[in-house]
Amino acid sequence: MTPTTPRYAELHAPAHWRVVDFISDLHLQASEPHTVQAWRDYLAGTRADAVFMLGDLFEVWVGDDGLDGEDEDARFERSCIQALHTASAQHALYFLHGNRDFLLGAEAARRAACTLLDDPTVLTFGGRRWLLSHGDALCLDDHDYLAFRAQVRTTAWQQAFLAQPLAQRRQIARGLRQQSEERKRSGVDYADVDAPLARQWLQQAQAAELIHGHTHKPADHELGAGLRRRVLSDWDLEAQPPRAEVLRLQQTGAEVTIQRLPLDRAR
């Protein structure tokens, strides 16, 4: 699939921001209570002025109307949205869609007091430009997924899907999650971000650093010519050892420091 040049949205940090956090790929679901509680504790405890959630915050999202249901999934989703709303009194919250929760819309964002971001978005902070993305659109070797992504991101597909009864949508989502788990167990090696395309995005956005998730392979990659990408950790507090990390930008005077923090230090 031939990549297209994205439109780069712009977000300028307010002058008073000093600490900015990035997280992604938490895949929140009721069956993973330790991860959910760790996320709640993090939101309540972080001293960040802003928290950017770069996709796959939720394991699945089948439409904002699910928030008004009476089933277990609806109650779980409402509790998460309420946690975000509560946290918004202390931190500016930003959400960028992932491949699991791309149907999270304006109503859910309103209830969460969270700002939706385009993918990609350029954040200006500390006198520097940071390119933010979920990262899935950069995985050029994942041909089947990119074809699926192109289909489900169309207005026609989304309207048709959201027109189905909520119970049917939840059933479809359960099937997709099961397929994903089977693929993980099969040992298939997932495609990584295409380095030339990442460089192209950075150069076009006039940014030196790309921050993204999706691949579940936290690391810093030098791309040449002073460019780099920083991959966020996924969160799984059930794993052995548990996985969870926050990427933090902190401005002190004219300097911006970059840290990868375990949860017990992300305060």
Extents of the domains making up the chain: 9-262
- Residue 8: which of 203, 151, 214 has the closest Cα? 203
What residues form DSSP beta bridges with 124?
12, 129
pLDDT of residue 177: 79
3-state secondary structure the chain: CCCCCCCCEEEECCCCCCEEEEECCCCECCCCHHHHHHHHHHHHHCCCCEEEECCCCECCCCCHHHHHCCCHHHHHHHHHHHHHHHHCCCCEEEEECCCCCCCCCHHHHHHHCCEEECCCEEEEECCEEEEEECCHHHCCCCHHHHHHHHHHCCHHHHHHHHCCCHHHHHHHHHHHHHHHHHHHHCCCCCCCCCHHHHHHHHHHHCCCEEEECCCCCCEEEEEECCEEEEECCCCECCCCCCECCEEEEEEECCEEEEEEECHHHCC
Q: Which fold has domain 9-262?
A: Purple Acid Phosphatase; chain A, domain 2 (3.60.21)
What residues form DSSP beta bridges with 255?
252
- Residue 205: which of 120, 118, 116 has the closest Cα? 120
Q: Which residue bears the tokens 């990390």?
A: 245
pLDDT of residue 180: 72
Residue 63 near residue 103 (C-beta atoms within 8 A): yes
The alpha carbon of residue 240 and the mean position of all alpha carbons in its chain are separated, in whole angstroms, by 23
CA-atom Rg of the chain in angstroms:
18
pLDDT of residue 111: 98
- Residue 120: which of 204, 60, 36 has the closest Cα? 204
pLDDT of residue 254: 87
61's CB contacts (< 8 A; 6+ apart) are 77, 100, 101, 102, 103, 104, 108
Distance CA 36, CA 57 (A): 10
Residue 205 near residue 129 (C-beta atoms within 8 A): yes
10's CB contacts (< 8 A; 6+ apart) are 121, 122, 124
pLDDT of residue 3: 59
User: What torsion do the CA atoms of 71, 74, 75, 76 make, to the nearest 10 degrees?
Assistant: 120
Residue ranges of the chain whose pLDDT lies below 70: 1-4, 183-189
pLDDT of residue 5: 77
Token digits of residue 101: 């929760």
Backbone torsions φ then ψ of 128, nearest 5 degrees: -130, 160
In degrees, rounded to 5, the angle at the alpha carbon of residue 200 between the alpha carbons of residues 195 and 204 is 150
